[in-house]
């Protein structure tokens, strides 16, 4: 179990591409195998949005407690 956490979001495509390129070259903390690059297409009244998210695991879900024996 876990959740998606937004790392970066913009509505400027060129800024988006430059930022992702910069992160890939310099940020060694991002696990790109658990990253999600989304493009939310704008419709009439809403602009297109570009978002980078990473999956954060929930350490509490890794440990399952069993009921005590009676």
pLDDT in tens, 9-34: 999 999 999 999 999 999 888 889 99
Whole-number pLDDT of residue 68: 54
Confidence (pTM): 0.73
Of the pLDDT bands very low, low, confident and very high (cuts 50, 70, 90), residue 69 is low
Sheet of 2-10, strands arranged across: 2-10, 49-57, 35-40
Whole-number pLDDT of residue 70: 47
Residues 46-56 have a mean pLDDT of 94
Q: Quick one: tokens of 61? A: 């879900």
Distance between CA 30 and CA 21 in Å, rounded? Answer: 13
| Least confident stretch, 35-44, 46-55, 56-65 | 56-65
CB 19, CB 53: distance < 8 Å: no
């Amino acid at each position: 179990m876990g959740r998606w956490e937004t790392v970066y979001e913009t509505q400027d495509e060129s800024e988006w591409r430059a930022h992702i390129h910069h992160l890939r070259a310099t940020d060694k903390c991002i696990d790109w195998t658990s990253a999600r690059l989304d493009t939310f297409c704008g419709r009439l009244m809403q602009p297109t949005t570009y978002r980078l998210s990473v999956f954060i695991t929930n350490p509490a879900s890794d440990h399952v407690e069993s009921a005590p024996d009676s």
